[in-house]
Amino acid sequence: MPLLYNVTLKKDSPPEELEKAKESAKSNGGTIRHEYTLIKGFTVEYPEDHIETLQASEHIHVEQDGEVRIQ
């Protein structure tokens, strides 16, 4: 079952690494749901069993999207 993941470029990483991550996500069954303008990143709907592909890059930070609550 696909899950949503936030993918961001780590500090001091070259911008082309983000493009590589987007292409990798799409070629491995992911669907880009949102691209950010203030930060270098995107949200992708991605099969859970393929997420290691994105996490393998030293230039990319990946975290599962979730609901934020303030108590």
pLDDT at 71: 75
pLDDT at 35: 96
User: How many percent of the chain have pLDDT more than 90?
Assistant: 62
Q: Which residues of the chain have pLDDT under 50?
A: none
CATH number of the domain at 2-64, out of 3.90.180.10, 3.40.50.300, 3.30.70.80, 3.60.15.10? 3.30.70.80
pLDDT at 68: 66
Tokens encoding 40: 């270098």
pLDDT at 56: 87
- pTM, rounded to two decimals: 0.84
pLDDT at 49: 81
| Contact residues for 23 (Cβ-Cβ < 8 A; gap 6+) | none
